[in-house]
Amino acid sequence: MNIIHDIRTINALLTEAERQALSLGDSAPGAEHLVLAALMLDEGSARDLLGINDTRFRDALVATHAAALEKVGISVPAEGLSPAPAKPGVYRSEASAQEVFQRAKVLAKQDRGGLKGAHIIRAAAEREHGTVARVLKHLGIDREFLR
């Protein structure tokens, strides 16, 4: 395991997850934003495992959010949701992101090859409920296959 590599990967994941969350109108990144960030890593293991790129996942995420809002009677404007403003200070994320990240670190240690995007995907796929599970279902991807 290369600590410097892992630190760079962690920085890239957390920075991009926050950027994705804000661009989608969320104030803090959740597991779905970590998955997006993993799909954007240069090393490509997340894309290889899922068989899709970040654009396809993001489109499915937006569609899943819109469908959930419509179920409760809220329509999403055609132009989408407004980006959320960045909040200065300490990094904050939703519990789902924290849980996925911690599990991904365990998976990376078991593989002994350093943290990769595929570890984020596998950790997120272990969650039976939540946004990532709904997006994967929308995409027709079997969570069990990813574990």
- pLDDT tens by residue, 88-140: 666 788 899 999 999 999 999 999 889 999 999 999 999 999 999 999 999 99
- Rounded to whole angstroms, the Cα distance separating 21 from 9 reads 18
Please name the fold of domain 3-78+92-146: Double Clp-N motif (1.10.1780)
CA proximity to 24, closest of 51, 58, 70, 48: 58
Torsion of CA 53, 63, 98, 143, to 10 degrees: -70
pTM over 0.85, yes/no: yes
Q: DSSP state, 87? A: -
Please tell me whether residue 101 adopts helix, strand or coil conformation. helix
Q: Which two tokens stand for residue 55?
A: 């654009």
pLDDT tens-digit series, residues 15-74: 999 999 999 989 899 999 999 999 999 999 999 999 999 999 999 999 998 888 788 888
